[in-house]
Amino acid sequence: MLPDIILSMNMKFPEEWHKKDLDYSSDQDEFLKGGRFRYRRLKRYSILLTAIVAITPLIIMTIINSHQYQKALKADLIYPISRQTSNTRRSLESFIEERRAALDLIIKEKNYEELYDHDKLANTLRHLKESIDGFIDLSLIDSRGKQVAYVGPYRLEGRNYSDQDWFHEVSIKGVYVSDVFLGYRDSPHFVIAVVHEKANADYYILRATIDSEMLYRKILSQILRPTSDAFLVNKEGILQTPSADHGKVLEKSAIPVPPYSPHSEVLEKKDADNNLYILGYAYIENSPFILMEVIQPEAFMQNWLTMRNNLVWFLGISIILILIVIVWGSFHMVNKIREADVKRIKLLHQVEYTNKMASIGRLAAGVSHEINNPLAIINESAGMLNDILSVGDAFPMREKVSKSVNSILRNVDRCSRITHRLLGFAKRMDTKIESLDIHELITEVLGFLEKEALHRNIKIDTNFPDNLPAITSDRGQLQQVFLNILNNAIDAISEGGKIDIDVKLRKNDKIDVIIKDTGRGISKQDLERIFEPFFSTKKEHGTGLGLSITYGIVQKLGGKIAAKSKVGEGTTFTVTLPVEAPITEEQ
């Protein structure tokens, strides 16, 4: 209200003060517009950096988990293949060795004449078939390669094998296991032959034909995996048993012959179409056979793809959720920073405005003090002129001049009261406890506001009890309390409103000053925060410090302040003050 009083006295202040007030809103808009790029960049950086920090470890862990799971699945696939291949190899070696040992036993226990005898050889074959499966026929071959005795389903007596490789090999090594071949029978089979030397350095060979189907059944009995294809090949890659996917017996296998290894091996290979497959193989000792187990890793790949898809889905959903949280958090954080910047601008402007008001107050106090001297001279001169008029009756236009002098004296008195109130309000800066009349104090405060209330057609009614006692408190601080509350009431009232001021005496040595207005009211959620610093419902026109300072002053003076309001009906402030303030002048 000080600027209003000063302006009403037609006093002028530096033009830049008014310009700063007018340009505050535009300065704020320019600051926000200029900082828009900075806020966008801050959002981008915060989202990018936070996303990198949050998502990168997740991606790395997903890749590591995927790789480890792939290795675990591969290990779970390869180990059973290796074990199964080893078991099948031992079963085939046992199968071949059992039949070779049977032939070796026969040729050692029976002499040449017994084997040469057709009936005895047939009887031997019959006993072999009864005890060991797979034998088709038996034949006795002399050192010249001629088959001298034969028992079996074919007519092969007299055949000569001297020009065949197997005959020369068995002659040198003493035992021979052949590849699967057709031969004179025109049916896939293989032979096992053993040599026995005579006393005269001659020798003969006992040869047995074995059904190659037995090898295939032996493999099937060991290979239990439904997705695998197991078969035998020789060292040239010729199929010795049928294959479900790689050809028939005695056809060339499409899979290259793997390198020799004394142990079972498992390899990862790719076919001509670049499709991955798992190859388990083992060389069958003392035979030309190589066991091959080919697995198309469909189950492995299916499990791997399922796991990979689950990981990808988990990663994708996690990234989406993380990004949502990061974006929301970044926008929220940047908006908070923006709000803090706006509050900082307002606060800096308020500090500047407060300094300006303090300067105006000091200037107003000085001006008021300087005005008092001319007013005293005017008052004395007008009084003297009035005395002169009262002495003589012959003064022309005496009545008119007397009225003018009296008007001068009334207006001088009015100016004097204004300057004294202004000086009284401005000079009380420190806490000073004194005895005061609450009626007089509120009337003095209303003197500052009567012009604005009259201008806005606002009616102010007061109600003071007759037995109201004097109170001890700080005059200047109480003036500030009631001035803040009444200023807010006037701001909230539209044209033609009303303010009621009631003072009530309590029984416990306290008084209530109730200030009720018919303004726009305060919402329930805002009513809970009106005493918080920097909270204002006046948007850019308020600082949010008035009621906060008022609350602090009332608390300091030992009183309480409360507010009730309803939107559209008005607001009521109740200031409760003790008759004796609990603070001393030293405080």
Question: In terms of pLDDT, which residue wins out, 566 or 345?
Answer: 566
Q: How many residues does the chain have?
A: 587
Q: Which contacts of 143-149 are long-range, i.e. CB under 8 A and separated by 24 or more positions? A: 143/171, 143/202, 143/203, 143/204, 148/116, 148/204, 149/115, 149/116, 149/117, 149/118, 149/121
The residue-averaged pLDDT of 77-86 equals: 84
In the predicted model, is pLDDT for residue 517 greater than 60? Answer: yes
* CA distance readout (Å), 255 to 77, 228, 581: 20, 14, 107
* Predicted local confidence at residue 380, as pLDDT: 77
Structure confidence at residue 122 (pLDDT): 93
Torsion of CA 326, 331, 334, 335, to 10 degrees: -150
d(CA 161, CA 138): 15
Would you state the pLDDT for residue 196? Answer: 92
Instruction: Give the type of residue at 334.
Output: V
Sign of CA pseudo-dihedral 209, 212, 215, 220: negative
pTM of the model: 0.48
Contacts of 139 (CB under 8 A, 6+ apart): 147, 149, 150, 151, 152, 156, 206, 207, 208, 209
pLDDT value at position 545? Answer: 66
The CA angle 322-323-327, to the nearest 5 degrees, is 120
pLDDT > 90? residue 555: no
Residues 220, 360: Cα–Cα separation, whole Å: 109
Inform me whether the pLDDT recorded for 265 exceeds 60. yes
36 three-class SS: helix
**Where does the pLDDT of residue 12 fall: very low under 50, low under 70, confident under 90, or very high at 90 and above?**
very low
Helical H segments across 456-580, by residue range:
475-492, 524-527, 546-556
The domains found in the chain, sorted by start residue, are 1-83+306-427 (no CATH), 110-215 (3.30.450.20), 223-296 (3.30.450.20), 431-578 (3.30.565.10)
- Helices 475-492 & 398-427 angle (0-180, nearest 10): 110
93 pLDDT band, cuts 50/70/90, is very high
Q: For residues 261-275, give the mean pLDDT.
A: 86
Q: What is the pLDDT of residue 235?
A: 92
The values of phi and psi at residue 312, to 5°, are -65, -40
418, pLDDT greater than 80: no
Residue pLDDT, tens place only, 439-493: 888 888 888 788 788 888 888 899 988 888 888 888 888 888 888 898 888 888 8
More confident residue, 405 or 425: 405
Q: Does residue 46 register a pLDDT over 80?
A: yes
Task: Round to whole Å and give the CA distance between 306 and 78.
Answer: 19
Q: Which of 78-82, 301-305, 432-436, 512-516 has the lowest mean pLDDT?
A: 301-305
Please give the pLDDT value at position 149.
93
Task: Output the CA–CA distances (angstroms, integers) from residue 50 to 41, 317, 327, in the order listed.
Answer: 14, 17, 9
Give residue-wise pLDDT tens across range 181-240.
Answer: 887 767 888 999 999 988 787 899 999 999 888 888 888 887 766 678 899 999 999 999
Residue 427 scores a pLDDT above 60? no
Q: Which two tokens stand for residue 21?
A: 């007030």
Give me the percent of the chain exceeding a pLDDT of 70: 83
Which of 258-262, 447-451, 536-540 reaches the highest mean pLDDT? 258-262
Tell me how crowded residue 65 is: count the other CB atoms within 10 A of its CB: 14
| 439 sits in which H/E element | helix 438-455
Mean pLDDT for the chain overall: 81
pLDDT of residue 79: 81
- CB count, 10 Å around CB of 282? 26
Q: Among 215, 178, 222, which residue's Cα sits nearest to residue 86?
A: 222
Number of Cβ within a 10 Å radius of residue 336: 10
